[in-house]
């Protein structure tokens, strides 16, 4: 489990990035980030809304979608299309990275990895096809080490 201090540092780092980009990390957006930081797994918009309501009772679905849209745009979170959920990105200071997600179908834990070789290969492949990459997420499904060991 990540410590509260570690979480605070991430929020501080994200705030610094926002300041540099001249965008505002509103209180609601910050609460959404904090909820995601505390969660060990990916969360759906409705899971997030339920928890946001504990602190902001007036929050409605558009509130959460607007916050998520901002966080996605800024590259602080990723949307996991195959499970329709959201995770925090640990590489938010490098907005152009290829996000490689290892998704455990048993416990739903998602591990995000980063690999320069894969990035270079994708870039090359895109170039060969005159394709300009905007963002890329590779979603890989399987079993994490903990779940694998439990079953063997």
For residue 138, CA distances in Å to 98, 99, 110, 112, 144 come to 8, 6, 12, 10, 16
For residues 94 and 80, what is the distance between their CA atoms, to the nearest angstrom? 18
Q: Does the protein bind Zn ion through residue 93 (CB under 5 A)?
A: no
Q: Please, which residue, 28 or 109, has the CB nearer to Zn ion?
A: 109
Q: Please, which residue, 13 or 54, has the CB nearer to Zn ion?
A: 13
Contact 48, 86 (CB under 8 A): yes
* Smallest gap from residue 117 Cβ to Zn ion (A): 17
> Restricting to residues 101-130, which ones interact with Zn ion according to CB under 5 A?
104, 106-107, 109
Q: Does the protein bind Zn ion through residue 91 (CB under 5 A)?
A: yes
Residues forming contacts to Zn ion in the complex (CB under 5 A) are: 89, 91, 99, 104, 106-107, 109, 144, 147
């Amino acid at each position: 489990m990540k410590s509260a201090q570690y979480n605070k540092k991430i929020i501080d780092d994200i705030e610094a990035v926002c300041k540099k980009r001249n965008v505002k990390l509103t209180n609601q957006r910050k609460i959404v980030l904090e909820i995601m930081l505390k969660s060990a797994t990916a969360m759906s918009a409705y899971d997030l809304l339920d928890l946001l309501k504990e602190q902001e009772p007036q929050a409605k679905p558009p509130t959460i979608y607007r916050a998520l849209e901002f966080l996605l745009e800024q590259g602080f979170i990723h949307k996991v299309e195959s499970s329709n959920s959201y995770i925090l990105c640990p590489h938010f200071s490098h907005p152009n990275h290829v996000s490689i997600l290892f998704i455990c179908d048993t416990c739903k834990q998602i591990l995000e990895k980063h690999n320069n070789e894969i990035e270079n290969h994708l870039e090359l492949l895109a170039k060969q096809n005159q394709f300009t990459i905007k963002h890329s997420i590779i979603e890989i499904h399987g079993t994490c080490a903990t779940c694998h060991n439990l079953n063997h």
